[in-house]
Amino acid sequence: MRHCRRLFAKLKNLFRRAHAERELNREVSAHLTLLEDEFQSRGMSPDEARIEARRAYGGVEQAKQLHREERSILWLEETVADLRFACRSLLKTPGFTTVAVLTLALGIGANIAIFTVVNAVLLRPLPFQHPERLVRVFDDLKGAGAKDVGMSEPEFEDLRDRSGVFDNISVIFPLSTALSGGNHPERIELLMTSADYFQLLGAQAELGRVYEPRDARPGFTESVVISDGLWKRQFGGDPHILGRRIRVDEDGYTIVGVMPPDFRHPGQTLAGDVELWAACGFAADPLPSPPVRAQRLLPGAMARLKPGLTIQQAQQHLDALAAQLAQTYPKEYPASSRWSLRLEPVEQTLTGSVRPTLVVLLAAVGLVLLMVAVNMASLLVARSSARIRELAIRQALGASRTRLVRQLLTESVLLSLIGGLAAMLVLALTKGSLLALMPSDLPRLSEVHFDARALSLACVLSLLTGILFGLTPSLHASSTDPNRDLKEGTRGGTSSLRQNRFRSALVATEIALSVVLLSGAGLLVHSFWNTLRANPGFDPNGLIVARIWIPFPNNPAMNRYRTAPAIAGFTREILRRVRALPGIEEAAMGGDNSVPLVTNTGNQTAFSLPDQSDSAVKQRSAESASVSPEFFQVLRTPLLRGRFFTEADTDKTKPVVIVNESLAKQYLLGRDVGRIMNFGGADWEIVGVIADLRDDGLDTKVAPRFYRPLYQGPANEMAIFLRGASDSSGLKQAVTGIVQAVDPDLPVYGVRTMREMMATSLARRRFSLSLMAVFGALALFLASIGIYGVMAYAVSQRAQEFSIRMALGAQPRDILLLSLRPGAILTLTGVALGLAAAQGATHLMASLLFGVSPSDPMTFVGVPIALASVALLACWIPAQRAVRIPPVAALRS
Amino acid sequence: MPSEGKPRLQILQGTLDLVVLRTLRSLGPRHAYGIAARLEQVSGDLLKLNQGTLYPALVRLEQQGRIKGKWDTTENGREAKYYAITKAGLKALGEETQRWRQLSGLMEKLLGEES
User: Helix A763-797 crosses helix A94-118 at what angle (to 10 degrees)?
Assistant: 150
pLDDT over 60 at A150, yes or no: yes
Kindly give the residue spans of alpha helices, DSSP state H, lying in B3-86: 15-27, 32-43, 54-63
pLDDT tens for residues A414-444? 999 999 999 988 888 888 888 877 777 777 7
Q: Is the pLDDT of residue B114 over 70?
A: no
Q: Does A30 touch chain B (CB under 8 A)?
A: yes
Which of the residue ranges A134-148, A194-208, B82-96 would you say has the lowest mean pLDDT? A134-148
Average the pLDDT over B42-69 and give the result: 81
- Residue A638, burial from CB neighbour count under 10 angstroms (0-12, 13-18, 19+): exposed
The pLDDT-based confidence of A783 (bands split at 50, 70, 90) is: confident
Give the pLDDT confidence of A291-300 residue by residue, as tens digits.
878 777 788 8
The CA distance from B21 to the nearest CA of chain A, in Å, is: 16
Pick from B55, B78, B80: CB nearest A67: B55
- pLDDT at site A811: 85
Cross-chain CB nearest to B56 (options A27, A38, A67): A67
Other C-beta atoms closer than 10 Å to the C-beta of A425 total: 12
The 10s digit of each residue's pLDDT in A549-582 is 777 776 777 777 878 888 888 999 999 999 988 8
Among the residue ranges A253-267, A287-301, B18-32, the one predicted with the least confidence is: A287-301
- Taking alpha carbons only, the member of A249, A271, A152 closest to residue A598 is A271
Share of chain A above pLDDT 70, in %: 94
* Nearest-neighbour CA in chain B from A5: distance (Å): 6
For helices A17-41 and A74-92, the axis angle rounded to 10 degrees is 120
Which is nearest to A370 in space by CA: A516, A539, A205?
A516
pLDDT of residue A645: 93
Amino acid at site B77: G
Q: pLDDT averaged over chain A? A: 84
Judged by CB atoms closer than 8 Å, whether chains meet at B51 and A57 is answered as: yes
B50–A contact, CB cutoff 8 A: yes
Phi, psi (5° rounding) for residue A813? -65, -40
- Does residue A602 register a pLDDT over 60? no
Lowest mean pLDDT among A197-201, A598-602, A648-652, B28-32: A598-602
Judge: A59–B78 Cβ closer than 8 Å, yes or no.
no
Query: Has residue A769 got a pLDDT over 90?
Result: no
Question: Is residue B79 less than 8 Å (CB to CB) from chain A?
Answer: yes
**Averaged pLDDT, A630-645:** 92
State the pLDDT at residue A498: 63
Question: Which residues 32-61 of chain A have a CB within 8 Å of chain B?
Answer: 33-35, 37-38, 55-60
- Which of A115, A112, A97 shows the shortest CA–CA distance to A459? A112
In this prediction, residue A850 carries a pLDDT of 82
Q: Which of A42-46, A65-69, A653-657 has the highest mean pLDDT?
A: A653-657
pLDDT higher than 90, residue A875: no
Q: What is the pLDDT of residues A511-556, one digit of tens each?
A: 899 899 899 888 988 888 888 888 888 888 889 999 887 777 767 7
Distance of residue B76 Cα from the nearest chain A Cα, in angstroms:
9
pLDDT in tens, A473-485: 777 777 666 666 6
Q: Across residues A690-701, what is the average pLDDT? A: 82
Give the per-residue pLDDT at A632: 93
Average pLDDT over residues A711-724: 85
Q: What are phi and psi of A174, to 5 degrees?
A: -75, 140
Render pLDDT for A744-757 as a digit per residue (tens, 0 to 9): 878 788 888 888 88
What's residue A299's pLDDT?
84
Task: Give the pLDDT score at A34.
Answer: 87
Give the pLDDT confidence score for residue B3 in this predicted structure. Answer: 40
Shortest alpha-carbon distance between residue A470 and chain B (Å): 35
Give yes or no for a contact between A409 and A471, defined as CB atoms under 8 angstroms apart. yes
- Among the residue ranges A121-125, A266-270, A433-437, A513-517, the one predicted with the least confidence is A266-270
Q: How far is CA A311 from CA A223, A316, A345, B79, in A?
A: 33, 9, 8, 84
pLDDT (average), residues A28-37: 87
Task: Map out the domains of chain B with their CATH numbers.
Answer: 15-107 (1.10.10.10)
Instruction: Check CB contact of B65 with chain A, cutoff 8 Å.
Output: yes
Q: Is the confidence at residue A631, as pLDDT, over 90?
A: yes
pLDDT of residue A255: 93
Distances (CA, A) of A633 to A598, A720, A741: 20, 14, 27
Q: What is the pLDDT of residue A855?
A: 82
Does the pLDDT of residue A596 top 90, yes or no? no
CB contact under 8 A, A30 and B55: no
Q: How far is CA B86 from CA A726, A730, B63, in A?
A: 94, 93, 12
For the stretch A335-356, pLDDT in tens is 777 888 999 998 888 887 788 8
Tell me: cis bond preceding B7? Omega within 30 of 0 counts: no
Which of A670, A664, A669, A656 is CA-nearest to residue A690? A664
The stretch A245-266 carries a mean pLDDT of 87
Indicate the pLDDT class of residue A135, thresholds 50, 70 and 90: very high
**Which residues does chain A have within 8 Å of residue B64's beta carbon, measured at their own beta carbons?**
2, 5-6
Would you say residue A2 has pLDDT above 80? Answer: no
From the list B37, B52, B63, the residue facing A6 with the nearest CB is B63
Other Cβ atoms within 10 Å of A685 Cβ, number? 13
pLDDT band per the 50, 70, 90 thresholds, residue A618: low
Q: What are phi and psi of A190, to 5 degrees?
A: -110, 140
Contacts of A69 in chain B (CB under 8 A): 56
The pLDDT of residue A481 is 66
What residue type is assigned to position A94 of the chain? Answer: P
The answer, for A27 touching chain B at a CB cutoff of 8 Å, is: yes
Measured between CB atoms, which of B52, B63, B80 is closest to A63? B52
* pLDDT per residue as tens digits for the range A169-216: 999 888 878 787 666 677 888 899 999 999 999 989 999 999 988 888
CB contact at 8 A, A250 and A551 = yes
Whether B31 sits inside 8 A of A31 (CB atoms) is yes
Question: In this model, does residue A627 exceed pLDDT 60?
Answer: yes
Report pLDDT for A657.
93
Residue predicted with more confidence, A523 or A286: A523
**pLDDT at position A736 over 60:** yes
Q: What would the mean pLDDT of A357-375 be, rounded to a whole number?
A: 89
State the Cα–Cα distance between residues A729 and A33, nearest whole angstrom.
97
Residue with the bigger pLDDT between A661 and A16: it is A661
Region at B94 (left for phi over 0; alpha for psi -120 to 50; beta for the rest): alpha
Indicate the residue of B37, B55, B65 with minimum beta-carbon distance to A63. B55
Task: Kindly indicate the confidence band of residue A690, based on its pLDDT and cuts at 50, 70 and 90.
Answer: very high
The predicted pLDDT at position A354 comes to 83
Establish if B81 touches chain A: CB-CB under 8 angstroms: yes
Band of pLDDT at residue A493, cut at 50, 70 and 90: very low
Q: Hey, is the C-beta of A63 within 8 angstroms of any chain B C-beta?
A: yes
Q: With cut-offs at 50, 70 and 90, classify the pLDDT of residue A391.
A: confident
Average of pLDDT values for B68-85? Answer: 88
pTM assigned to the model: 0.74
Indicate if the pLDDT at residue A799 is higher than 90: no
What's the gap in Å between the CA of A56 and the closest CA on chain B? 6
